[in-house]
Amino acid sequence: MRIAIVGVGSRGSAHINEILPVPNVEIAALVEVDGARAEAASQRIFQKTGKRPIIESDMRRVFDDKSIDAVTVATCNHWHALSGIWAMQAGKDVYVEKPVSHNIYEGRKLVETARKYNRVAAGGTQRRWWGRFRKAVELIHGGAIGEVYQGNFFFPGNRDSIGFKPVKQPPANLNWDKWLGPAQMEPYHENLVHYNWHWFWNFGNGELGNNGIHMIDILRWGMQQKLPVSVRSTGGRFGYKDQAETPNTQNVTWTFANGASIVGQLRGLYTKDPMSWDFYGTKGHLHMMADGQFTIRLGRNKVDEPVVESPKNLDHFANFADAVRARDPKMLHAEIEETFLSTALCHLGNISYRLGRELKFDPAAMHFVNDKEADGLLTRPYRAPYVVPEKV
């Protein structure tokens, strides 16, 4: 099975490290608009395998290569959906990093493309492969804490100011037009490339889309919820003034049709509180830590239930390869629609934050209720030729 990796930054490098040990899978091509990073990644693969992958800056040329079976996408957020759509239209199966889209419209089109072309498409919410998370969700679904009416998460970002970087010419090794892709044209500065783009609305989705999606995905999975009927988000960028646009502190409540809710808190400044999840049910409470260790306390008991043994972690890229070979998306632990739904909650939270008010949402119609201003943020203007198509 010959794979192309699109984007070889921090997540793309993780893809390389995790794909290399998978039996009978070859990293055959790298797509990267930064030539220096591409060469470094190619050298690392050569040292491990004795083979050098093809290097390209234009993903479409790689997608046209009939010898490539599948693609993993580890670009910036604003490229995730279009990369996946183009790859599937070219007959490739795809693994798309979280969040799988920059906005709700293009996420819908990503799922629609997978269905139309019968592709195996996975999302990058990796904790669904971890044994402890799988065991906790199995217990919740089995009624261990009763009916779950609320799920909470806390994520500590612990990030400092990014300061201000002046506009300048892009470095010679960077193809700025291709890096921008679907996003609107704007001048280059060093707070965009290669990480701090997360904190600018043109390219990223803030901490909610960066790490919050992992938190949301576990709660939504355990609670067996899809999309909410209302969302309310507050927060701001506290403690410093810098070039970034997204909040460093954000609190979000998503409410579902049955009255259950997910309550999320992302804190970017100082805290000793660790990352955690909490499921509250009619019989008890399940508390989970960053590594997936969890405790259950029932009723008014003063001690936790005995610790249960969890299965081993699964290999998510091996799972993707197995599903591709079997032509069976049902084998995937995080099929693209599941990751899109969790991604959509991030987008809804950010839209509420940006507008500064509670929003009512219609999950069936996939738009807000009598709110044209909010509906306008479900998509974005695209820059030709990097356009997410209405008809996929």
H or E stretch at 213: helix 213-223
- In angstroms, rounded to a whole number, what is the distance separating the alpha carbons of residues 233 and 210? 16
Phi, psi for residue 239 in degrees, rounded to 5: 95, -20
Query: Whole-prediction pTM value?
Result: 0.97
pLDDT digits (tens, 9 = 90+) for 198-248: 999 999 999 999 999 999 999 999 999 999 999 999 999 999 999 999 999
User: Cα separation of 187 and 320, whole Å?
Assistant: 38
**Structural domains for the chain:** 2-127+316-334 (3.40.50.720), 131-162+194-312+341-375 (3.30.360.10)
Q: Which residues contact 59 (CB under 8 A, 6 or more apart)?
A: 4, 6, 31, 83, 86, 87
* pLDDT tens digits for range 120-157: 999 999 999 999 999 999 999 999 999 999 999 999 99
Task: Give the C-alpha separation, 116 to 147, whole Å.
Answer: 36
DSSP H or E stretch at residue 281:
strand 276-281
Angle at 126 between CA 282 and CA 363, to 5 degrees: 55
246 touches 268 (CB < 8 A): no
How far apart CA 67 and CA 65 sit, in angstroms, is 5
d(CA 327, CA 218) in angstroms, rounded, equals: 26
For residue range 278-303, list pLDDT tens digits in order: 999 999 999 999 999 999 999 999 99
Distance of CA 87 to the CA centre of its chain: 18
d(CA 224, CA 141): 8
Q: Which tens digit of pLDDT belongs to each residue from 311-322?
A: 999 999 999 999
The encoded tokens of residue 288 equal 């989970």
Q: Which residue has the tokens 């954000």?
A: 250
Residues 336, 96: Cα–Cα separation, whole Å:
8
Structure-token pair, residue 327: 């032509």
